Amino acid sequence: MNGFVRTLVVVLLSGPTLVAGQAVIESTFANKDAALQVDPALPFWSAARPVFMEKDSFGKPVPRYRTEVRSRWTRDNLYFLFICPYEPLHLKPEPNTRQETNQLWNWDVAEVFVDSDFTDIKQYMEFEVSPQGEWIDLDVNLRNPHHQDGWTWNSGFEAVARIDPQKHIWYAAMWIPQAAIDTRPPVPGNTLRLNLFRSQGPAEHLQEITWPPHEQDLSRSRKLWLA
């Protein structure tokens, strides 16, 4: 959990055309929900349009950790797939994938930060998954001195993960219930704030990978386009 509140946007659209010049993540519509799987070759994920997390928190390229992200959406859920090249992983001993893992952000994770309120960037929901399939969801209010207590919130999201030691890639997939992040029905044209983050390695060699890279102006927006 990194207090990562800079704004992106998720846009729900029915057409395939993006606005030229905008930094966007495009999420493609699926007619029905699918079981969570991490194989990028599956038709569900093949229909997605990927983006890449390839810079650190200061905008410096990190080609060794260039992370592919794909997204789909349905009337009920928002999906993400992370494809994460890695070097030696920083993993929590004795992983528990049946229950939420508090402070999972101290280990290697992929994270989604999302909210529908553009007037208050200090409040958002956070979803994390580790290479071992551990998970946590948080309802964060940075004005609360104990905002880490937001981990007791339960969104109903689910996550799975797999490590491929031969390819040195770990994969993670998650679905987030639409009702947990927006009070509106998910229809083309809706917008959401969104950030993506990944941590790699122990503290002495910690590498952060972000999309978009950190900026000083926290009100600047980026887009995830749900087509």
- Give CA angle at 57 (195, 176), nearest 5°: 20
Helix (H, G, I), strand (E, B) or coil at 46: helix
Closest residue by Cα to residue 223 from 145, 86, 114: 114
Residues paired with 138 in a beta bridge: 126
Residues paired with 77 in a beta bridge: 177
Closest residue by Cα to residue 164 from 135, 197, 131, 201: 131
Are 193 and 115 in contact, with CB atoms under 8 Å apart?
yes
Are 184 and 192 in contact, with CB atoms under 8 Å apart?
no
Q: Could you give the CA distance from residue 226 to residue 29 in angstroms, rounded to a whole number?
A: 6
Residue-level pLDDT, tens digit, the chain, 227 residues = 554 333 344 444 344 444 444 567 888 899 999 999 999 999 999 999 899 999 998 889 999 999 999 999 999 999 999 999 999 999 999 999 999 999 999 999 999 998 877 787 778 899 999 999 999 999 987 877 766 677 889 899 999 999 999 999 999 999 999 999 999 988 877 778 888 999 999 989 999 999 886 543 333 445 555 55
Are 3 and 215 in contact, with CB atoms under 8 Å apart?
no
Closest residue by Cα to residue 201 from 159, 158, 170: 170
Residues paired with 52 in a beta bridge: 68
Q: Could you give the CA distance from residue 223 to residue 225 in angstroms, rounded to a whole number?
A: 6
Q: For the chain, which domains are there?
A: 9-226 (2.60.40.1190)
pTM of the model: 0.87
